Amino acid sequence: MKRSFKNPPVRGDAPFPGDPAALLDALPLGVLITDKEGRTLHANLLAHGLPDEAAHAVERILAKVKNSQPALETVELAKPDGRQLNLLISATALRDRRGEFAGAVVAIGDISREREQEREAARRNTQLESLLRHAPMGIALIDENLRYTAFTSVPEPLGQPRQVMNGGKIEDSVKPHHSPEVAAEVIKLHKTVLETGIPAKGTGWRFTRPDGSHYYADWELRRVSDGSKVLGLIGTAVDVTPHIETRNELEKLKDNLEQTVKERTAELARANATVATILETIADGYFATDAAWRVTYFNRTAELLTGIAGSKITGKRLWDTIPATPTFREPLRRVMADRRPEYFETAELHRGKWLEFSVYPSADGGLIVSLRDITARKTTEQELLRLCSLDLVGQMAAGISHEVRNPLTTVKGFLQLLARKPSYAGDKDVLELMISEIDRATGIITQFLSVAKTTPGEAVVADLNAIIANLHPLLESACLEHGKNLVLCTDQAIPTQLVNEKEIRQLLLNLVNNAIEAMQTKGRQVTVGTVRLSRREAALFVRDEGTGIPADITAKIGTPFMTTKDKGTGLGLATCYAIARRNNASVEFTTSPAGTTFSVRFKAGR
């Protein structure tokens, strides 16, 4: 129900002379003017048709004003369209000249818009609080006095509980948990951002909670302004504790891994050093190549066996340094292509040494090559073959010595008888030739027996230099007869040897005769000498200045019946080898286009 307030004409004795209606109607408020009895003297347009709730409120306010009480009241009404109507009603007492209560002026204002704005602001504040409460990061609002006005709890700024920080100052939250220097720096930082407007940020800062626990956060601090007015600061912080802890754990794992790698690397280096030491000290040579034939490793023994310095071949192509002879090149190429091991022997690589090669494919596509000096084994094999030949000669000599020499002796005797008869005087030359040939055949048989002989003769302690001195006139005569010079080069410090002097003289004569026959040009020199090898060992040698022994027969030297002479028997050197063996010695030789040297090395003891 609405109540109407009438506007009777104002009487001349009314408190307000004149007609204020036009002025009051222009006001944006509803205005009522009453007398002291509460009767309406005037009501402007907006005061007409007030709902009952508003009229009752006016009556209550008039009663309060009459009794000199505060007169202000709000009324909330529902409009027919369902919207809310909010009225603010206030009254002011009117006094006459005597100060007596004469009436009141009632103002009725529609504050529905303001109340809606308040309610909207409240809703926004509620939303902001909800946002701050549920935000996944820490947000703090700080006023211009550096007091907290709002903040989230994730994470709680600086590790402080909400009840401590609510309305509290920055300095009150940082001083209890930080050193004076750090606290002063934090406060200065906030003041600087507030004054300059330059944002500040930090990454991975460590904060301490009251319980002593820690967490890490990335933070940023910015100034908030409304136009030219500075409102305060807003700080954000993101909890990066899991990330930092994970990073720290990864750092630990990394450090542990690096330490493990260092230890394993050191172990591998020690293992490699051990392997390298082994490879450098073993008797076998080793070298390795990559898939492009570049040499990646060449040990010391390989240097000695090939005569090539490792520094000159490492890093270079194999074929640029080592001659690519067929017997060496082809097996390596087959292994590189087929990836199957191969084994071969050759004497072409270095100064006639026999080398045994084992070639394997490596995991990196290259080769691993092992080489071994088998010269001694080859020499032994050749000696064994020679001894087998000597054994055959011995068997032949034993079988034919009596069967051939005895008939030859008989034939020689009859030829000598015939040569004495006058009837054969005309054939004397023929008979003497036949007798000389029989003597020659007998000499060959004697050499057969000497080569085949295995038991040593009577041995005595002899001086090799003395044996040479005793034979010197004979040797010099033989040399001069063929236009050669004899030179003696004896070592007076050699030890004596237990030998058969007769056989050693025969050995020396054979070697000197071979040296003389090896030199076709007159004026060349034959050198005979001795050399001390050790306290109990010595060697006898004969050197010529011939053209050397052909390479294709060096392996056959000492084999019975092997000769390059037109009238040779091939038993001279075979006899020397046999004599040396019976006298606990060995025969060695070196040869080149400048000459050949045969050495007889006498071993200690017998």
Tens-digit pLDDT profile for residues 136-150: 677 788 888 888 887
**Secondary structure (H, E, C), 228-287:** CEEEEEEEEEEECHHHHHHHHHHHHHHHHHHHHHHHHHHHHHHHHHHHHHHHHHCCCEEE
Tokens at residue 317, please? 């192509």
Q: Is the pTM of this model over 0.75?
A: no
Q: Are 42 and 10 in contact (CB under 8 A)?
A: yes
- Region 215-241: mean pLDDT is 86
What distances in angstroms separate CA 449 from CA 35, 222, 560, one per listed residue?
178, 120, 12
Cα separation, 450 vs 452, whole angstroms: 5
User: What end-to-end distance do the CA atoms of the chain give, in Å?
Assistant: 156
The whole-number pLDDT of residue 23 equals 77
The whole-number pLDDT of residue 402 equals 56
Query: Is the pLDDT at 582 greater than 70, yes or no?
Result: yes
Tell me the angle at which helices 501-518 and 572-582 cross, rounded to the nearest 10 degrees: 150
Long-range contacts of 4-8 (CB under 8 A, 24+ apart): 4/48, 4/49, 5/32, 5/40, 5/43, 5/47, 5/48, 5/50, 6/40, 6/43, 7/40, 7/42, 7/43, 8/41
Cα separation, 99 vs 80, whole angstroms: 44
Tell me the angle at which helices 572-582 and 428-452 cross, rounded to the nearest 10 degrees: 40
With cut-offs at 50, 70 and 90, classify the pLDDT of residue 199: very high
Digit-coded pLDDT (tens) for 92-117: 888 888 888 888 888 888 888 888 88
**Strand pairing partners for 108?**
30, 89
- Region 169-187: mean pLDDT is 79
The whole-number pLDDT of residue 387 equals 64
With cut-offs at 50, 70 and 90, classify the pLDDT of residue 598: very high
Digit-coded pLDDT (tens) for 471-523: 888 888 889 988 999 999 999 999 999 998 888 888 898 899 989 988 888 88
- Region 582-599: mean pLDDT is 91
Residues 6+ apart with CB under 8 A from 297: 279, 286, 287, 288, 314
SS3 419: helix
Phi, psi (rounded to 5 degrees) for 322: -95, 130
Cα separation, 266 vs 264, whole angstroms: 5
Residue 433 CB burial class (10 angstroms; 0-12, 13-18, ≥19): exposed
The whole-number pLDDT of residue 271 equals 84
Cα separation, 130 vs 121, whole angstroms: 14
Long-range contacts of 8-12 (CB under 8 A, 24+ apart): 8/41, 10/41, 10/42
Residues 6+ apart with CB under 8 A from 551: none
The whole-number pLDDT of residue 448 equals 58
With cut-offs at 50, 70 and 90, classify the pLDDT of residue 10: very low
More confident residue, 418 or 466: 466
With cut-offs at 50, 70 and 90, classify the pLDDT of residue 88: confident
Q: Are 306 and 349 in contact (CB under 8 A)?
A: yes
The whole-number pLDDT of residue 528 equals 94
With cut-offs at 50, 70 and 90, classify the pLDDT of residue 333: very high
The whole-number pLDDT of residue 81 equals 78
Query: Is the pLDDT at 358 greater than 90, yes or no?
Result: yes
Query: Is the pLDDT at 164 greater than 50, yes or no?
Result: no
More confident residue, 120 or 556: 120
More confident residue, 217 or 292: 292
Cα separation, 349 vs 340, whole angstroms: 23
Express as a percent the part of the chain with pLDDT over 90: 17
Cα separation, 443 vs 572, whole angstroms: 12
Name the residue type at position 470.
N
The whole-number pLDDT of residue 173 equals 75
Phi, psi (rounded to 5 degrees) for 597: -125, 125
The whole-number pLDDT of residue 539 equals 93
Digit-coded pLDDT (tens) for 366-413: 999 998 888 888 877 777 776 666 666 666 665 666 566 667 777 777
Digit-coded pLDDT (tens) for 262-309: 999 888 888 888 877 777 777 788 899 999 999 999 988 888 888 888
Express as a percent the part of the chain with pLDDT over 70: 83
More confident residue, 463 or 3: 463
More confident residue, 258 or 392: 258
What torsion do the CA atoms of 547, 551, 555, 557 make, to the nearest 10 degrees? Answer: -20
The whole-number pLDDT of residue 389 equals 65
The listed range with the strongest mean pLDDT (5-9, 265-269, 322-326, 538-542) is 538-542
Mean pLDDT rounded to a whole number for the chain: 81
The whole-number pLDDT of residue 310 equals 86
Cα separation, 169 vs 148, whole angstroms: 6
Cα separation, 207 vs 372, whole angstroms: 72
With cut-offs at 50, 70 and 90, classify the pLDDT of residue 158: very low
The whole-number pLDDT of residue 486 equals 93
DSSP per residue over 298-340, as a string?
Answer: E-HHHHHHHT--HHHHTTSBHHHHS---HHHHHHHHHHHHH--
Tokens at residue 471, please? 């034979």
SS3 108: strand
Query: Is the pLDDT at 335 greater than 90, yes or no?
Result: yes
Query: Is the pLDDT at 445 greater than 90, yes or no?
Result: no
Cα separation, 66 vs 102, whole angstroms: 9
